[in-house]
Amino acid sequence: MDDELRSASAPRWRGKAGRLEVWYATLSDPLTRAGLWIHCETVAPEHAADSPYAHGWATWFAPDGPPRTERFGPEPTGPASGSAWFDAAGVRAAPEKLAGRAGSLAWDLSWKDAGRPLWTFPRAAWERELLPGAQVVIAPTADFAGSLSVADGAVRIDGWRGGVAHIYGHGNAKRWAWVRADLGDGDVMEVVAAVSNRPGLRRLAPMAFVRFRIDGKDWPASPFPSLRMKTTLGLRHWQLEGGIGGRRVLIRVDQPPERCVSLGYTDPDGGRAVCTNTEQADVHVDIDDRHWSVLGTGHAEVGLRGADAPDINERILS
């Protein structure tokens, strides 16, 4: 494993209070548009009296029915040891391997990606922990294979496409939007637009981190946020529009409610947020006169707090 991949994937939490670490995978069947989301999370509460815990969930997005979410954990945890990044509550995430069970869902997956990590945030900010939170895509153009069981049925996974990513920081943003889209021929887009939950920063407009890998090259060349991109957030429809490097860029995301799940998050400080996620989004991208449409296989979510957050219950309804 080279230094870049090791930096992107290796566990960062070493026991500090007030930290959140996540590994997640999102993948889609390009033929049926079925999708799968696996989310593995370690939470170290701010108060030393509260023990760190590991938990997460898996969501199956059926090609012809409503999504199904199952949770695993929580259970007490400590810093990672051994080769696995996450190993708790019967779920394991490790290099090129995802396996586990949660309720009626069970999975045993492998992936391969010949590409290098995609730094959604500046690599220096990730390695030096300069921001309240940051994300990096370990495997941005992964090919998945393996098996998935859903209740009493079996799903063969072969040639599914997606990504594996890593998040570390102090907790979730005040508001955020994320989208990943496989643009075809090895091209991919990853976007995070967020408003920090830190005092003094909560009233600012969303800051957009936009990264493309097209024809093997990462664009824009600068890893810093795209300050001329305006983000308009909504649960069903959201978009980014503006200029990057002298080019006109428009990214439109549609998250049909019947294809979404809404899930609650608890931060290390006890604060709560709700994210509305789908692996079956419709994504439209324009860069000057070049256009891509990704229908039913875009991976996207919007996260909100307080009065702006959607109502959810234990059945995880959209």
pLDDT number for residue 308: 66
pLDDT digits (tens, 9 = 90+) for 142-186: 999 999 999 989 999 999 999 999 999 999 999 999 999 999 999
b/e for 283-308, b at 16 or more Cβ within 10 A?
bbbbbeeeebebebbbbbbbbbbeee
Which residues on neighbouring strands pair with residue 115, listed in sequence order?
none
Average pLDDT score over the chain: 93
pLDDT number for residue 315: 30
Q: How far apart are CA 8 and CA 29, in angstroms?
A: 26
pLDDT number for residue 250: 98
Span 101-128, mean pLDDT?
96
Percent of the chain whose pLDDT exceeds 90? 86
Percent of the chain whose pLDDT exceeds 70? 95
pLDDT number for residue 1: 66
Span 26-41, mean pLDDT?
98
Residue 313 clears pLDDT 50, i.e. is over it: no
Task: Pull the structure tokens for residue 21.
Answer: 């670490």
pLDDT number for residue 318: 24
Q: How far apart are CA 176 and CA 22, in angstroms?
A: 16
pLDDT digits (tens, 9 = 90+) for 284-296: 999 999 999 999 9
pLDDT digits (tens, 9 = 90+) for 212-263: 999 999 999 888 899 899 999 999 999 999 999 999 999 999 999 999 999 9
Enumerate the domain spans of the chain. 3-308
Which pTM does this prediction carry? 0.95
